[in-house]
Amino acid sequence: MRDGFDRASTNRIAAQAGVSIGSLYQYFPSKEALVMAVAERHNRDLMNIVRRALAEVAAAPVRTGVRTLVAAAITAHAHDPALHRVLSEQTPRTGPLAGLEPFNREAHALLRAYLEDHRDELRATDLDLAAFVCMTSIEALTHTAVLYRPDVLEGPAREPLADEATQLVLGYLLPS
């Protein structure tokens, strides 16, 4: 129970950030607000990566586009993994901080839009469900890799994971 954000008392956070608690509370009305702000900033960063990738891929066929999206997901998770770990492990998903899942909601909506634009290439019919499955799978694979196999996210070892994830999603989306 004494790790991550729990281990992060406001006083410690302030000290680490090189400011006094007083100053911290000048900018954030409560610890919750502070955590929220950090998490939102992180999510904004991630969403930027995802959005850029989807824009870049918009006109590309699913067969090649997915590869790029998977790469973007890996890049996103590789961005400040320590923070990502702490946030994903310690941020309550119930209570006032649950407001963080909007991130996933937007990503889901964007992906579904992409799939709808490429509906004729796909096997699936329920694109909402399909987007959910793809999002969740890619997210889980890259996320788990970040947490337990940081090695696969840098250097050449990064390829196998990307390959498998792409394989997985394409096998699911495309008609056999």
Which residues contact a copy of itself (rule: CB under 8 A)? 1-6, 31-32, 35, 85, 89-90, 92-95, 101, 126, 129-130, 133, 136-137, 139-141, 144, 147-148, 160, 164-165, 167-168, 171-172, 176
| Helices assigned H by DSSP within 1-61 | 4-7, 10-17, 21-27, 31-57
Contact between 21 and DNA per CB under 7 A: yes
Number of residues that bind DNA (CB under 7 A): 20
Contact between 19 and DNA per CB under 7 A: yes
State the nearest-atom distance from the C-beta of 8 to DNA, in Å. Answer: 7
Give the C-alpha separation, 162 to 139, whole Å.
12
Give which of 173, 65, 80 is closest to 124, Cα–Cα: 173
Contact between 95 and DNA per CB under 7 A: no
User: What DSSP string describes 102-127?
Assistant: HHHHHHHHHHHHHHHHTGGG-S-S-H
* The only residue of 30, 48, 136, 144 in contact with DNA, by rule CB under 7 A: 30
